[in-house]
Each structure stands twice: as structure tokens, then as C-alpha cells.
Amino acid sequence: MRTLLAAVLLMFTLPSLADSYIDLYQAGGWPQQRAHFRDALSSAQQRYRNSLPPAIYQALVDNSNQRFTAAGMDQRALAGLRQLSDPQPALAFFQSPLGRKIINAEVLATQREQLAQYAKGVPRSQAGATRRELIGQLSQALPAKEAGAEVSLALASVAADSLSQMMPGLLGGGQAQAMLDNQRQRLMGQIGSDLDNSLLFVYRELSEAELQAFVDFAQSTDGKAYYQAALAALRAGLAVGQSSASLAP
């Protein structure tokens, strides 16, 4: 019986182990970033505690917890990542020593303690012309301002989503979408205005040679394909603008 059970479990496990998209999801630091988002969500919920009536606050907590379950976010984001036709080049890059160093730097930057320490902005970085040029190329190649805007919108929209559920019709679909689009553009402008300095800080431990290799990957056909799929995966995982009801399994 024990042997039969092991064989059954093995049949269900092998496809997952052989799934390069799941490997890329892990290597890209997605589970850690999702956990950090959940930390930020918890902080956002606490900020609303004293400014909303108890019933609305509880609806906010319940709805946002339902919307942003770990399993749901992983499932939606992984489905978005599968838009990438060939995950192997990106997987090879992020499993390399340089790739792991990049992901570690990105994961560190979104930890609760780091976000609290630099809530008013990261310090101005001193860098030479070559390093600034490389960072400038990265800021053009990476969808950093788009990703930052989506995360900010996801955190900000939890209250609006709860109010809409309690008072249907409060915002018409077209009006709500227009507000989201305007807010998205505003956030992207804010993030983009200081993006180079932010990236200088996040990747401060990378040498110029490592930055050049990072730029080469980000600007390559494979790198562009990965970051396009990664942005789609992020948007799918956060599901900004979608009702909680539409995300129910």
C-alpha cells in the first residue's frame, strides 16, 4: 500500500518538477515578492482601521484577503507567465550566479524592513558616468515603473473594491476604469521621475561588468520576451480593476 501511494504521488509530482515555467517562477523570486506584497497589504489594511466604519473596514479586510490569497495570486501570475513561448533562456539566466544575485537584490529591496526604512525615498546614489549609463539603459529595458504602478494600484484599490461591493453601482464600469487609467499614468510618471536613482540603489552590489551583462540580457530578444510576460504575469496576479467576485475559483 505504501509503495502504491508513493507511485501515485510520484505521478502527480513529476509534471510539476518538469515544468520550466514553475522553475522560472521560483528562480525569478515570484513567491518571495508575493509574500512581501502580502506584508504591504497587511500594513495597508491597518492604515484604514481608524479611518473607516467598522463594517466597511471588516469588508475591506475580508475582500482583500480573498482577492490576494497566495494560491490565487500564484495561479493567476503563473498563467500570465506562460505567455512566454520559451522559458528556458530566462530560466538559464536567473539560475546563473548573476541571475541569483539580481533576484536577491530585488527581493531585499521589497522586504518590509527595507520599505519602512526608505518610506520617504532611497538615498541619492553617487555613481560614475559608465554606471549611470548602464542604469539608464536598464530603466528603459525593465518594466519597473509599470510594475510599481500596478502594485500601488492593487494596494490602493482594496477599499474601493469593498465600497463597490457594499454599494453596487457607486462607480459605473467606465468611470471606474477611467479613474484607474488616470491613476496608473500618474503613478508611472512619479516612479519614472526617480527611477534611475532607485535602480542604482537596488543594484548597488552589482559591478559594472555585471550590470553590463544584465543590460545585455534585458535588451536581448529573450530578455524582452521575458519582461513582457513578467509584466503580464504581475498584472494577472494583482488583478487591478477586476471585482473580487470575478476572481473566485
pLDDT 10s digits, 181-195: 788 899 999 999 899
The domain segmentation of the chain, as residue ranges, is: 22-110+128-239
* Residue 124 DSSP one-character state: P
> If DSSP codes are grouped into helix, strand and coil, which group holds residue 50?
coil
C-alpha cell recorded at residue 152: 500601488
CA-wise closest residue to 199 among 151, 136, 141: 136
Split at pLDDT 50, 70, 90, the class of 67 is confident
CA-to-CA distance for 245 and 249, rounded, in angstroms?
9
CA-to-CA distance for 63 and 35, rounded, in angstroms?
18
pLDDT 10s digits, 90-110: 999 999 999 999 999 999 999
37, containing H or E segment: helix 30-48
Residue 148 near residue 187, CB atoms below 8 Å: yes
